[in-house]
Amino acid sequence: DTAVSQTPKYLVTQMGNDKSIKCEQNLGHDTMYWYKQDSKKFLKIMFSYNNKELIINETVPNRFSPKSPDKAHLNLHINSLELGDSAVYFCASSPQGSEQFFGPGTRLTVL
């Protein structure tokens, strides 16, 4: 039983394209997150949603748009992809005041 799932796991695309990454959690958690892990393995928060509402939006280009159709899903849409967007993107979820459970990550490669 997958707790936090992401699709796709790998994504290779050309500069300028638009792509989406989907995330679903079956843990019943209220809060979901998107993190970016760069080539040096550094992990940084991008967005946080609580019960479908945007709570945190770090300094992320507006080409990145999260969408939460319900509290079990948090998708990430990226417009006009750039070389610097190449990274691993992690979705996570958490119950109130507890640790976060991570998805398997999506490795995005922009050519």
Partner 1 sequence: AQTVTQSQPEMSVQEAETVTLSCTYDTSESNYYLFWYKQPPSRQMILVIRQEAYKQQNATENRFSVNFQKAAKSFSLKISDSQLGDTAMYFCAFMKLNSGNTPLVFGKGTRLSVIA
Residues that bind partner 1 (CB under 8 A): 30-31, 33, 35, 40-45, 48, 50, 55-56, 88, 90, 92, 94, 96-102, 104-105, 107
Give how far Cα 28 sits from Cα of 66, 70, 75, 81, Å.
19, 11, 17, 32
CB of residue 80 to partner 1, shortest distance in Å? 26
To partner 1, the closest distance from the beta carbon of 26 in angstroms equals 17
User: What letter would DSSP give residue 85?
Assistant: G
Taking the least distance from each CB to partner 1, the nearer of 61 and 95 is 95
Q: To the nearest whole angstrom, how small is the minimum distance from the Cβ of residue 57 to partner 1?
A: 11
Query: Alpha-carbon distance 41 to 71, whole Å?
Result: 28
Task: Kindly provide the residue ranges of all beta strands, DSSP E only, lying in the chain, ordered along the sequence.
Answer: 4-7, 10-13, 19-25, 31-37, 43-50, 53-57, 64-70, 73-78, 87-94, 101-102, 106-110
- Provide the minimum distance between the beta carbon of 86 and partner 1 in the complex, in angstroms, as a whole number: 15
Closer to partner 1 by CB, 25 or 31: give it.
31
Among residues 9 and 63, whose Cβ is nearest to partner 1?
9
